[in-house]
Amino acid sequence: MTSTQVFRKVHPVVADREAMYELFKRGADLPIEQRISGMAWAGEWFEITEAGYDAMLNVLPPLFMRSGMFGMSEFKGGTVTSVFFEITIRGRRRWFHGYCDLSDRQTPDRMRAAIIAYETRAFDSMTRPEKLEAIWNETPDEYKGVAGALNPSAWPPDQRGKRTILVNGGGLGTILKLLEDLTDAEIDEMFAARSPAQGRGR
């Protein structure tokens, strides 16, 4: 059987443990026929944390397990079950959950390829302002702030109130910089180094 599933991302940022379980509950109000078949969820995927991936691996014995992928033995409905992925994208390990219809045994591999394609294009197609917003949203509070909030005299008047972020200054060590002044190289480096556990924006 050849799959006709449409793979679609259903959560914009990395889902922490709480968000992951909330996403598992999606669709509880759908018609019973869709829930029994599992097709209401087939093809959906979202990014999770490494801790979430490890926790789900230990919930039940996997239905199947191979390098960078395992499936849950408890089905969502019909032939649809949760599949968890560990994927290296742009040199960074990331973790994902998706609902795969196993009536087509190739679906997990198709979903894995779709996730890689989507995440690669997502970065390449973002504008500079969009990348800056993503960096800001995914940076922990202790590494970002507002210019002049603590020491106004340390910043020129025209820069006060603007967003700041700590960056790797090379030989200068970690330095504080205006978010809007990040270079393209710094933006690329920060995207490559992002930790999935830092996903925010819920």
pLDDT of residue 4: 63
Average pLDDT over residues 1-21: 82
Residues, the chain: 202
pLDDT higher than threshold 80 for residue 124: no
Strands 8-9 and 44-48: parallel
pLDDT of residue 192: 63
Nearest to 146 by CA among 163, 133, 168: 163
Name the phi and psi angles at 124, rounded to 5.
-65, -30
The position carrying tokens 């490890």 is 54
Quick: pLDDT tens for 188-200: 777 665 544 343 3
pLDDT of residue 193: 59
